[in-house]
Amino acid sequence: MIISIAAIRKHLALPNTSWQICLLAIIGGCASALLVVLFTLTIEAIQQVYLIKSDNYNSLDEISRFDLPIIGAILILLIAWFTGYKYLRTGIPFVLHRLKVAHGVIPFKNTINQFWGSAIALASGFSVGREGPAVHLGAACSSYLGSMLKLPYNNIRTLCACGIAAGIAATFNTPIAAVIFVMEVIMREYKAHIFIPVMLAAIVGSVITRSVFGTSHSFEYFQVVALQHPHYFSLALLAIVLGVLAALFNKYLVVIIKQSVKYHIVPRLMLAALITGALGYFVPAAMGTGASAIDLSLTSNVSIGFLVSLLVAKLLMTMFALGLGIPGGIIGPTLGIGAIAGACAGAIVTQILPGEHLGSDFILMGMAGFMAASLSAPLAALLAVVELSGQLELVLPAMIVITIASIVSRQVCKNESIFTMQLDAQNLLYQKPPIEESLQNISALAVMKDNLLILDQASTRTMVGEIMNSHESQLVINKKPASQADIDQYGAENSFYWAQLDTERVDTNTVDVDVDVDVDVDSIIAQNLILHKLIPLNHQVTLAEAYLALVKQRSGAVYLYHNDVNNCIGLVTFEQLRIYLVEGQLN
């Protein structure tokens, strides 16, 4: 049996789990994961030209480390010039913004900048991560699928979340953390009709990345966690330091963003390149996503002084790179910063308690605590570190560190999620009133009245009595432009009016029009019907758009059209919206 696209759209209009949305989640997740894998392979292909090992900038000489970010910044600016500088916004904050203002639909030129700009930035040694591009690319790829099929906007939002989960799973091979990150940070809600498709997309992303890069995780080389109860006091002190450090990191990153918006993107990116090159000249391990910093932190003979200098360099590199507009993510650098901070704590504990070898344990705790405090995503941080390291034994100590670090960061230091702080600093919308949040989960197609009788203004007069006595169909009067003057004044589109019988003026049982009686149809309409001019909305809209169109007048209706604004396919009345908001029922 062939199912039409229109029938699928109608079926997907309600926020329910269905095999159709699950199938689309798998398809979108597959496409998103493949794009992210291509992105990863592109970075590795570029780095193979001049690096012995991926992200190992120690193999370069000092001058090359200084020049590389500058060359990268020039290439990023060339791509941005080609697409237009206004399309340079990328990453997780931009995706959060588009989810609120455009239901996850992302401009194609922003995606071009995200793919090539971030690939060059990551290959050039900038302290940015891969997960931001993965989120953007995954969201864009899946939302393009929904837009191509012209699905309702609530389904495009769901597909966008699925693409993000697939992208993160494909980047880190962490499907569980990917699902939790989407629900905790991106969607900020746990709904079954979103959770199940997101889970399927994450599975697909993980399967694809395993088939290409193997089953290993990034940090499986960590030894078995040896933390015991006597070490928990040291972990609590580490967590306090991580909470304060995360608050300071977020604060000064936002300060750089606010100050840099006064200047053009060209000097901003060149300044970021100069700072990265200068710091990389002296501390090459601070360059890149943070993998080399983590590797170096695991070295047992590294002095505390060097670890502190590495920590300072990594903090400055990350803040200036992201604050000045280098395209890339923040999660990778936060893991690196947390690892270095944990290595410092482990080195101090080793000096206080000789014979203890807890360096790798404290590194893992630092990664979990700093990521949770900076991103305000405790559960995602916990599962990410557990999956990346493959160490289930760290769950309890990591929960202690994450809890204390989050409390210190949020309540003591008044810190917020870095993503919301970035959005506030850039004046990008990311919140909507609760009414709109509720209504945007339901497509207007789900509740539209499609039993329409659409008549021209000069319709056969013998039908008027029958229509006015009908309670099953919605009468819509189509007032077409009568002359070229009307077209010049009002436009070529038809004007649709929803006709309601005025029960205070006429008894519906007495309305009758004899075919042989010469009557004035317009007079009957004027005397007995209330006409509401219908507001046109695309069939993809949610009830939130219908509500915003009608909330001022608090009456009337909108009509939905498909492709052509003159093609009225259904009505959504304000009374339907009122009933849903008051009684929670769709009518």
- Does residue 390 lie in a domain region? yes
Poorest-confidence range of 70-84, 181-195, 237-251? 181-195
The interaxial angle of helices 395-407 and 232-260, nearest 10 deg, is 50
- Token pair, residue 297, equals 């932190």
With cut-offs at 50, 70 and 90, classify the pLDDT of residue 225: low
- Does residue 164 lie in a domain region? yes
> How much is the pLDDT for 463?
54
Residues 6+ apart with CB under 8 A from 372: 378, 380, 381, 382, 402, 405, 406
Report the alpha-carbon distance of residue 179 to residue 197 in Å, rounded: 10
Residues 6+ apart with CB under 8 A from 54: 43, 44, 47, 291
Let me know whether 244 and 314 are in one domain.
yes
pLDDT at residue 121 greater than cutoff 50 = yes
Spatial contact of 28 and 159, defined as CB atoms under 8 Å apart: yes
Spatial contact of 440 and 544, defined as CB atoms under 8 Å apart: yes
Let me know whether 240 and 180 are in one domain.
no
- In the chain, the amino acid numbered 554 is R
Residue reference for tokens 């990521």: 371
With cut-offs at 50, 70 and 90, classify the pLDDT of residue 484: low
Spatial contact of 502 and 514, defined as CB atoms under 8 Å apart: no
Poorest-confidence range of 12-21, 87-96, 124-133, 498-507? 498-507
DSSP 8-46: HHHHHTSS---HHHHHHHHHHHHHHHHHHHHHHHHHHHH
pLDDT at residue 506 greater than cutoff 90 = no
Q: What is the CATH number of the domain that holds 565?
A: 3.10.580.10
Q: What is the CATH number of the domain that holds 181?
A: 1.10.3080.10
Residue ending a domain, among 425, 459, 474, is 425
Report the alpha-carbon distance of residue 477 to residue 467 in Å, rounded: 11
Let me know whether 444 and 421 are in one domain.
no
Report the alpha-carbon distance of residue 66 to residue 323 in Å, rounded: 20
> How much is the pLDDT for 421?
92
pLDDT at residue 483 greater than cutoff 70 = no
Residue ending a domain, among 171, 202, 220, is 220
The interaxial angle of helices 418-425 and 359-375, nearest 10 deg, is 40
- Does residue 356 lie in a domain region? yes
Report the alpha-carbon distance of residue 474 to residue 556 in Å, rounded: 13
Q: Is the dihedral of CA 209, 211, 212, 213 positive or negative?
A: positive
Let me know whether 279 and 170 are in one domain.
no
Neighbour-count burial for 32-58, b at 16+ CB within 10 Å, e otherwise:
bbbbbbebbebbbebbeeebeebbbbe
Let me know whether 236 and 385 are in one domain.
yes
The Cα-based distances of 115 to 87, 172, 401 in angstroms read 12, 17, 35
> What is the greatest pairwise CA distance in the chain?
109
Spatial contact of 334 and 292, defined as CB atoms under 8 Å apart: no
pLDDT digits (tens, 9 = 90+) for 64-85: 999 999 999 999 999 999 988 8
Residue reference for tokens 């269905």: 18
Instruction: Please state the three-class secondary structure of 490-521 as a single string.
Output: HCCCCEEEEEEECCCCCCCCCCCCCCCCCCCH
Report the alpha-carbon distance of residue 529 to residue 259 in Å, rounded: 60
DSSP state of 447: T
Count other Cβ atoms within 10 Å, centred on residue 400.
18
- Does residue 126 lie in a domain region? yes
- Does residue 433 lie in a domain region? no
- Token pair, residue 121, equals 């930035």
Spatial contact of 239 and 47, defined as CB atoms under 8 Å apart: no
Mean pLDDT of 358-378: 87
With cut-offs at 50, 70 and 90, classify the pLDDT of residue 317: very high
> How much is the pLDDT for 11?
74
Q: Which range, 143-147, 294-298, 530-534, is most confident?
A: 143-147
Report the alpha-carbon distance of residue 436 to residue 427 in Å, rounded: 20
pLDDT at residue 491 greater than cutoff 60 = no
Pairing of strands 568-573, 557-561: antiparallel
DSSP state of 354: T
What is the count of structural domains for the chain? 3
Let me know whether 61 and 148 are in one domain.
yes
Poorest-confidence range of 335-349, 431-445, 453-467, 554-568? 453-467
Residues 6+ apart with CB under 8 A from 247: 373, 408, 409, 413, 414, 415
pLDDT at residue 475 greater than cutoff 80 = no
**504 half-sphere exposure, CB direction, 13 A CA radius:** 1
Let me know whether 352 and 275 are in one domain.
yes
Mean per-residue pLDDT over the chain, rounded: 84
pLDDT digits (tens, 9 = 90+) for 147-183: 998 889 999 999 999 999 999 999 988 899 999 999 9
Spatial contact of 200 and 29, defined as CB atoms under 8 Å apart: yes
Residue ending a domain, among 377, 402, 425, is 425
Let me know whether 74 and 27 are in one domain.
yes
> How much is the pLDDT for 519?
45
Among residues of the chain, what percentage have pLDDT more than 90?
45
- Does residue 431 lie in a domain region? no
Among residues of the chain, what percentage have pLDDT more than 70?
85
pLDDT digits (tens, 9 = 90+) for 534-562: 889 998 899 999 999 998 888 888 999 98
For 126, the 3-state DSSP assignment is coil
DSSP state of 117: I
> How much is the pLDDT for 518?
45
Let me know whether 33 and 155 are in one domain.
yes
If 0-12 CB within 10 Å is exposed, 13-18 middle and 19+ buried, where does residue 389 land? buried
Mean pLDDT of 329-348: 89
- Token pair, residue 258, equals 């606010």
pLDDT digits (tens, 9 = 90+) for 398-444: 999 999 999 999 999 999 999 999 998 888 877 788 888 888 888 88
Count other Cβ atoms within 10 Å, centred on residue 263.
12
Let me know whether 59 and 158 are in one domain.
yes
Structural domain that includes position 210: 5-220
Residue reference for tokens 């007995």: 528
Spatial contact of 547 and 522, defined as CB atoms under 8 Å apart: no
Report the alpha-carbon distance of residue 57 to residue 286 in Å, rounded: 9
Let me know whether 294 and 393 are in one domain.
yes
- Does residue 432 lie in a domain region? no
- Does residue 434 lie in a domain region? no
- Token pair, residue 70, equals 């500058």
- Token pair, residue 257, equals 């963003």
DSSP 264-292: -HHHHHHHHHHHHHHHHHH-GGGSSSSHH
Let me know whether 93 and 118 are in one domain.
yes
pLDDT digits (tens, 9 = 90+) for 29-55: 999 999 999 999 999 999 999 988 888
